[in-house]
Structure 1
């Protein structure tokens, strides 16, 4: 369950962080693009606003030329149609004159007869016309819908004729320019460069409220603005770059590439977690005994060595033990039940000892235990209790009892290295075997470590089935030593066990000879 949670949460966190990073990068790229686009938009707004101003000034120039002709003719414009025809352009809808503010002549006349009105007193035009007259400024009004179709802006240029040393208002020279035809080239260039735009002008020369003249259909959000003046009117051009196809592709590519990388990274994280799980599993298998689930000898030695390196001054106890007559169990009941006995023993170990105790299986029926922060005296009773526990396995419905023999030694009293500590415990274990099995014994100085190597456990088992009494001893003129005596010999000597025999003879074979001579005499 813990691994499943870890296997889900960590990749999910990697995915969320990765996607957040991708989103941040894409936003950063987008912001940088927007910043660059806005900088460029500022330059283009200024450039194309000035071009539009120039275009509109061409319409004003037509009215100004007409004004000059009227002045030069002292207000008598006899050939208006011929003059107006010469001044016409594609962006000019009509040219008009309004003596005393009343429109009298319009070119072309067709479709424009209704335009002959009194400008100064007209409800819609009067105020702005009087402003232009009184302030001697060109005024512009519109856009408005033309009867011929499309939209136009009217340019009214007031005309003053000097008479008797002062200027008298003559009327207006008027040009109606078509929008957006007057600045069509500039608008097309903006569109080609990828801009949405809106052109505004103030509704009245004396006001600050803008009205739209012309623009693209898209709504502009946070546009770049450039304001300019034409006469007494203020104009404003708003432009906003839209994402070009290449910019969109770049953002899409960055986003998709980032998502792919995040997915790969998430998958890689999942793979690492699975590999880490298997690595831990394999490492556990490498140091764990497959049958019993406790440490194998490699795992046991690793744990003990690490502990002693970290705590070199602490007293600890190493224990070696095995199942008595385990070969007989295998022979009589089969190896399957031998394995059952090993499992019963390991389960009992895990229940009996604390979590900080290191439990291991050397192989076969041999086990080892490492008890930290204690002495042999501290654990004597506990180990004796552990030794005497009743252990059994079921065979054909019947309980089959088995026992263990235990030997233990203390670090650093008996040994200063982990390997030597376990050899001492093993020597003590063998002493228990020599003395009848199913016992528990601490290592003592004087026990010979090489006995086990020289004799082997098999000697004990073989000797029990041999007829007669016999003894094995080291033959040395000056330092003879009893190594082993079978039960018949111990009984023949009148002793209860091997310990009593060794104590009685002081481990010397010569003492046995003296005792036997004395008995014969």
Structure 2
């Protein structure tokens, strides 16, 4: 009987011991899994942040390159001269730029601001520390970075040197360099501070030269980084590397200790571990959603869009579809006039219109800023054209302080696989078509054609930039004697008519060119215009003088110089430049007096 009781007690101990052994094994396995899973999630998040902020840092640094490109375009357009260097450089300066320089034939002759930077006027080609870089840039016609190096004014800087070649007599001749000295880390300080505010230590490195594999520190957090994740990106031939790691390291000792203590009760341990695994799994999925969704509009971002297309092509390589790129015309003006909150409202409104107008199987994504991507399965450029045309012409609006404001969009699209069998090439085609719409006056759509040039980054300005800086009032209206609908007016035209914006201008003119002309003169002026135009088969310019009626009823005498142009959407239109007679006499009289 005693023996039996002992045996029974022995069985009782065996079960708890077995449970303890199994529990310990489960705890060890679980702790190892949780540790690895947590580290993997942290590294996925760190990788996503490294990729995101690498792009932002590249954009920050490219702002310095943009300055040299602006100066380069001016020098090329003026055949090697830059008569207003100081004024232009002053407009391009910001807090992260130490100086802007010109170096014709490799010799620095112009520096802005000159004060404190006089020592920079040197012959770069023969300089011991700079010669190798500038010779490389000259030989390969590429932008070269040099630095970081100490600045006499304090801090560190990186020199961005952009070689300039001018076409003369059918040959490219070396002119020299446009140079910007950017302050580091000032130029990308916002990106670095954002990473540190998110709890990361970071380090930014770059190759010492385009031909070198050796890296040099550009920025470094106070603490040393242990096993950081790294993302490489290239700017103008230099390889940059952004390394990040959590400030508190990859491990989470508190969580492991908590799980270890909870393991003393096997049942609660199993339940707790199950919940923990589920939470960690959901967290991993949530992090994946964050990397693929746009937080403002709640649609896919570019990463999510790319993944959907890759999946679509992998599942059905033989299918056809259309990809479109679109953006809001003059979106910067909306932000400047009404604030970024209004700009966000415009973006959300556009997304709602996209979701309402296109089928449910359409994939919509925000490419960044005010640019969006659209994928339409089982469509062709021909089948979707009318839908795109209807969408771009329909009214788009947002609300600001209780008032409704309208905006327009431009859209370009291309078809897979007819126009490109590679996804990246297809996106470039859609982007080229979008930019073609921009060049032709915005608010419209266009399918990609072989004749379109992909020059978005090289051009640097568009129709709106040119028109708003013309030396006079400029407008466009239909070249039809029976329908002289106004289509566009630049800022000078609005100012001349006493209007604050295009809506007000269209309202008071009823969007008719003839309503700008004094009623007593309308018939005579219009007959004169068409008589001149028709004098040589409709190819002549017109020159007329009339009294322009302003919004407040006052009148001003203007000279009208018009020309007929063919437009892809509106057919024949008039491009008209109006000059104020009073201003012409005022300025020419002054010049005549000075000459005498």
Structure label with greater radius of gyration = 1
Larger relative contact order (Cα-Cα within 8 Å, sequence gap ≥ 6): 1
Same fold (TM over 0.5): no
